[in-house]
Amino acid sequence: MIDLNYYSPEEEILNPLFNQKEVKVFVKRDDLIHPFISGNKWRKLKYSLRNARETNKNHLVTFGGAYSNHLLATAAAAAKFGFSSTGFVRGETVENDLLMLCRLFGMKLIFTERGIYKDKQKLFDDHFRDDHNSYFIDEGGAGLLAVEGCTELISELENSYNHLFCACGTGTTAAGILQGISQNHLNMQVHAVPVLKNGEFIRDEIQKYNENLSEFTLHTEYHFRGYAKSTPELINFIHTFSASTGILLDPVYTGKSFFALYDLISKDHFEKGSKILAIHTGGLFGILGMAKKFNELI
Ligand SMILES: *Cc1c(COP(=O)(O)O)cnc(C)c1O
């Protein structure tokens, strides 16, 4: 059986700002699910792993950038559940700590020129067409099975909330969260924070899986200049947050979504008495290797 016996509690965090604005804020600790198969990456992978096992595949093939949490999660999950794995890495050959961990978990890395990388199905077919043991997992674990896994974040909630916050890369996690809310007949406003510039496309992505977007708000102004970019303001926020809660955030995803939450609270975006749940989607590996950038500022 492919499963993790994980623990993702809902934990209240405190701040004078929350008292002043009369809101309560909780964090869903998906970062505690697993150190490397972390957060939403476990939820997004789970049903693909099961499907691979049920169809007797023993080799997982997936795709990602050189700092992709999804590559690392797939490598660790493959090792844990007895698959071999190959990762196509976008762009020229590089070395970093994340890719080293992928290798330690037995993943074979194939660096792939950007033009060729674009057509993932063709890459898979060219390398593994005759190998019936190989299982294709899209970049970031996208797709219907990934959305289904993310709905469980909602069905396992122990408390009710008025608002829910999450960071978005592709929007798959947010799509699953919205679907989970509608399946469970809950009444919650979902706030999604794209970490890329021009994040409006997330709305289309979410619409593929959800007809009714009346409970959904996209906050596109918190990308901090773009994917994997940051500013001193963001790093200072991460520092203050981590030092006052004991919970780490990364600058690529969760730093931006939690910043957005604090900023909107300070601007009276939420009615008094609101209970807000911020999803900690994990991905803490993103702060390693950033010592230089951080140390200049904190
Ligand atoms: C991948 C990732 C996301 C983005 O998830 P999507 O489903 O692509 O929107 C958010 N947070 C963290 C920590 C991630 O690693």
Q: What is the pLDDT of residues 51-66, one digit of tens each?
A: 999 999 999 999 999 9
**To 10 degrees, the CA torsion angle through 120, 123, 129, 132?**
-60
Compute, in angstroms, the gap from residue 48 CA to the centroid of ligand 1. 17
Q: What percentage of the chain reaches a pLDDT higher than 90?
A: 92
The predicted pLDDT at position 104 comes to 98
Most informative mutation of 27, 33, 40, 254 for ligand 1 (most atoms within 8 A of CB): 40
How many residues appear in the chain?
298
Q: What is the pTM of this model?
A: 0.96
Where would I find the beta strands (DSSP E) of 65-220?
84-90, 107-112, 134-136, 163-168, 189-194, 216-218
Exposure on the CB side of residue 154, measured as CA atoms within 13 A: 29
CA dist 64 and 79 (Å) reads 18
Q: What ligand 1 atom has the least distance to the C-alpha of 69?
A: 15
The predicted pLDDT at position 1 comes to 85
Residue nearest to atom 14 of ligand 1 (CA): 283
Quick check: 171 pLDDT over 80? Answer: yes
CA dist 199 and 253 (Å) reads 13
CA dist 78 and 83 (Å) reads 5
The CATH number of domain 10-35+146-297 is 3.40.50.1100: yes
Quick check: 292 pLDDT over 80? Answer: no
Residue nearest to atom 15 of ligand 1 (CA): 283
Burial class (CB in 10 A: 0-12, 13-18, 19+), 10: middle
The predicted pLDDT at position 297 comes to 80
User: Where on the phi/psi map is residue 225: left (φ > 0), alpha (ψ -120 to 50), or beta?
Assistant: left
Tokens 């007949």 found at? 185
Compute, in angstroms, the gap from residue 168 CA to the centroid of ligand 1. 6
**What are the tokens at 266?**
């300070």
The predicted pLDDT at position 181 comes to 97
Quick check: 285 pLDDT over 90? Answer: no
- Average the pLDDT over 31-35 and give the result: 96
**What are the tokens at 168?**
């978005």
**Domain boundaries defined on the chain:** 10-35+146-297, 39-141
Compute, in angstroms, the gap from residue 172 CA to the centroid of ligand 1. 8
Residues near ligand 1 (Cβ within 6 A)? 39-41, 69, 140, 167-173, 253-254, 281-283
| pLDDT confidence tier of residue 147, bands split at 50, 70 and 90 | very high
Compute, in angstroms, the gap from residue 20 CA to the centroid of ligand 1. 31
Q: How many CB atoms lie within 10 A of CB 94?
A: 10
**289 close to 251: Cβ distance less than 8 angstroms:** no
Quick check: 294 pLDDT over 90? Answer: no
Compute, in angstroms, the gap from residue 156 CA to the centroid of ligand 1. 19
| pLDDT confidence tier of residue 141, bands split at 50, 70 and 90 | confident
Compute, in angstroms, the gap from residue 89 CA to the centroid of ligand 1. 18
Q: What is the pLDDT of residues 221-264, one digit of tens each?
A: 999 999 999 999 999 999 999 999 999 999 999 999 999 999 99
Quick check: 288 pLDDT over 80? Answer: no
**218 close to 200: Cβ distance less than 8 angstroms:** yes
Average pLDDT score, the chain:
95
**To 10 degrees, the CA torsion angle through 88, 204, 69, 117?**
10
Q: What is the pLDDT of residues 40-53, one digit of tens each?
A: 999 999 999 999 99
CA dist 36 and 107 (Å) reads 14
Quick check: 131 pLDDT over 80? Answer: yes
The predicted pLDDT at position 145 comes to 96
The predicted pLDDT at position 293 comes to 77
The answer to whether the 10-35+146-297 and 39-141 domains have the same CATH topology is yes
Residue nearest to atom 2 of ligand 1 (CA): 169
**What are the tokens at 178?**
């919205």
Compute, in angstroms, the gap from residue 170 CA to the centroid of ligand 1. 7
User: Where on the phi/psi map is residue 141: left (φ > 0), alpha (ψ -120 to 50), or beta?
Assistant: left
The predicted pLDDT at position 244 comes to 97
Most informative mutation of 173, 206, 250, 252 for ligand 1 (most atoms within 8 A of CB): 173
The predicted pLDDT at position 136 comes to 97
Pick the CATH number of 39-141 from 3.40.50.720, 3.40.50.1100, 1.10.240.10, 1.10.10.10: 3.40.50.1100
**What are the tokens at 248?**
């780490």
